[in-house]
Structure 1
Amino acid sequence: MATTTLPLVRAAAAFPFMIWLRDQGHPLDLLLQDAGLPPGFVANPDQPIPLQVGIEFLRAVAHAEGPDIGCRVVAHAGVDQLGLIGLLVRASQTPREAFQLVTRAFFHHGSHEVLTFTPHAGGGTVRHVFRVPLDDEALFITQQFTAALIASVVTRGGQDGSAVERVELTPHPVFGLSLLESHFGCPVSPTLTGAAAVTLSDAMLDRPYTQPRIPLDQQVTEGCAVIRGDGTLAGSIRAVLPLLLARGGEPTLAEVARFAYMSTRTLQRRLTAEGASLSRLIEQERAARAVALLTASTSPVQEVAAEMGYGSGASFTRAVRRWTSAPPTHLRKGRSGYG
């Protein structure tokens, strides 16, 4: 399962965990930092993040709170918190309609994940698979979370009893699967295909939701293409550079290679083939951010320099001149044709 771009996922995938941690009074910022996310990262559910970063955040929460945390998080927050995915569920009249909408839109949720819904006699099965190499612990944590979300799409209708007939997941390397059966109320078996699978009856799939349907905004999917980007490795890295730079400091080649599930040598070779380099991409992102701050703000140049991480106004001025052939003061609104 070699990758050619840096795998991305919408930040919404981690939002139920962040909501649960916040409501339980846990140190959210510390766990975010440990996973490689900036403190206060709770603003935009549609922001792309490296898939590897999201998985490491879920792993850190599981190590701190217990291996069945995915199921407990979903019981607390539910599918409504998942940005576009939550909007599609709320726009549906039945779980079957919700799964049909969500599986089509999932292409825009993650770049290296596939969600399918397959009807069969008496019901249907929802399957989720990653297109990146993950260890069994990571698969156990992420797959139980996904399976619990699938079940919550059904229980959102207020049905009593077990929402699902059967669940197939990757066992935890130490705890197996038995600790999850009480959460799902049905047999939980080892997956034979590597995919998470949740089987549902027709009765559950076609039972109308009791909550009123919320019509879907026709513009809701605008901007979704950022998850897939332009199909280049450089484009996928460019999509998450603002996030990585917001942590302070610059991402290293080794770190970006890890996010891309590549060796540093492979990453360099593929970027070179595209006429790019990590240092050049970082420089371009810093230039774009500096110009945006200078043209949209009236703050003193020294303050903008500090926000950009420069120790002095002089060094910032030299950088801006290198990027734009003009000093920072010329990039203010209404000056020299800028803004």
Structure 2
Amino acid sequence: MATTTLPLVRASAAFPLMIWLRDNGHPLDCVLQDAGLPSAFVADPDQPIPLRTAIEFLHSVARAEGLDIGCRVVTPDGIDQLGFIGVLVRASQTPREAFQLVTRAFFHHGSHGMLTFTPHAGGATVRHVFRVPLDAEALFVTQQFITALIVSVVTREGQDGSAPEHVELTPHPVLGLSLLEPHFGCPVCPTLTGAVAVTFSDQVLDRPFSQRRVPLDQQVTEGSGAIRGDGTLAGSIRTILPLLLARGGEPTLAEVAHFAFMSTRTLQRRLTAEGTSLSRLIGQERSARAVALLTASTTRVQEVAAEMGYGSGASFTRAVRRWTSAPPTRLRKGTTGD
């Protein structure tokens, strides 16, 4: 299950967890910093983040708060917290329509996960599978979270009799699945395929939502911005470089390789085959950011240099000259000096 691009997911995938942490008195800024995420990213639920970061974020909280945390953080309306996925659910008349809309749009939610909705006699099954290598404990924690979100589509209005008929997911390597049955109110069995499978009856799927339907903008089905880049490894790295650079400092080769589920040697080799390198990609992103800051405002060059992480105006000026063959002052709009 080797990856060819860096696996990404929308930031909204972590929102139910962050809301739970905030509501339970955890200092969210510190928790996000420990997870390698800048606190500012919460302002944009559709922003892509490394899938590995989201999974490890949930797993770290599970180790501290209990291995069934993936179930406990999801409220009955948890699906509404998932950015444009929540918008699709709110635009639906029934759970069946919601699942049909979400599965068609899920391609735009994450680059290495697949969601399907399969009708059968008496009901239908929703399945989710990751296309990345994860150990059994990480799958146990992550798949219960995904299962709870799937179930929240039918429980979001607090109606009785909305439990699934059957759930399949990866057991914990030591504890099995005994922790989870009380959360789902139905039999929970080991998956034979590695995928989450949640089965609902037709009665549950076709029960109309009582809340007023929200009109759907056609563009919302794709979120905001591409989640798969241009299909290259370099393109997928470019997608998250602004986020990684916003933390301060530069991402290392080892860090990016970890996000990509690759060794550093494999990452280097594949980038070389695409005619680039991580340092070149970082330089291009810094160049684009610096030019944007210099041309879009009249902020002093010294302040732009500080925002870009340069210790002195002189080092920033040399970098700008290297990128653009011009000094920062020449790039200003409406000013000729700093």
Report the TM-score when normalising by structure 2: 0.96
Deviation at 1:248, TM superposition (A): 1.1
The one-letter amino acid of 2:245's match is L
Q: Which runs of 5+ in 1 are unaligned?
A: none
The one-letter amino acid of 2:164's match is V
- Equivalent residue for 2:194? 194
Q: Distance in 2 between matches of 1:218 and 1:60?
A: 37
Cα deviations across residues 261-319 of structure 1 (Å, max 9, x unaligned)?
Answer: 11111111110111010000000000011111111222111111111100011111111
Aligned residue for 2:197, secondary structure, equals strand
The answer to whether 1:255 aligns with 2:219 is no
Pairing of 1:229-308 with structure 2 (within 5 A): 229-308=229-308
Alpha-carbon RMSD across the aligned residues, in angstroms, is 1.4
Q: Distance in 2 between matches of 1:133 and 1:295?
A: 43
Pairing of 1:11-26 with structure 2 (within 5 A): 11-26=11-26
Q: Which runs of 5+ in 2 are unaligned?
A: none
| Contact 1:31 1:60 survives alignment (8 Å) | no
Aligned pair in 2 of structure 1 residues 92, 196: CA closer, same or farther (>3 Å)?
same
Cα deviations across residues 194-225 of structure 1 (Å, max 9, x unaligned)?
Answer: 00110000000000001110011123245655
- Equivalent residue for 2:164? 164
| Contact 1:143 1:169 survives alignment (8 Å) | yes
- Equivalent residue for 1:121? 121
Q: Distance in 1 between matches of 2:174 and 2:331?
A: 58
The answer to whether 1:103 aligns with 2:94 is no
The one-letter amino acid of 2:61's match is V
Aligned pair in 2 of structure 1 residues 119, 221: CA closer, same or farther (>3 Å)?
closer
Report the TM-score when normalising by structure 1: 0.96
Q: Which deviates more, 216-225 or 11-20?
A: 216-225
| Contact 1:162 1:184 survives alignment (8 Å) | no
Pairing of 1:1-339 with structure 2 (within 5 A): 1-75=1-75, 78-221=78-221, 224=224, 226-334=226-334
Aligned pair in 2 of structure 1 residues 77, 331: CA closer, same or farther (>3 Å)?
farther
Cα deviations across residues 52-89 of structure 1 (Å, max 9, x unaligned)?
Answer: 11111111111121111111111276110100110000
| Contact 2:3 2:261 survives alignment (8 Å) | yes
Cα deviations across residues 127-178 of structure 1 (Å, max 9, x unaligned)?
Answer: 0000000011111111101111111101124320342111111111232211
Percent identity of paired positions between Structure 1 and Structure 2: 83
| Contact 2:93 2:209 survives alignment (8 Å) | yes
Deviation at 1:41, TM superposition (A): 3.1
Q: Distance in 1 between matches of 2:34 and 2:191?
A: 30
| Contact 1:320 1:326 survives alignment (8 Å) | yes
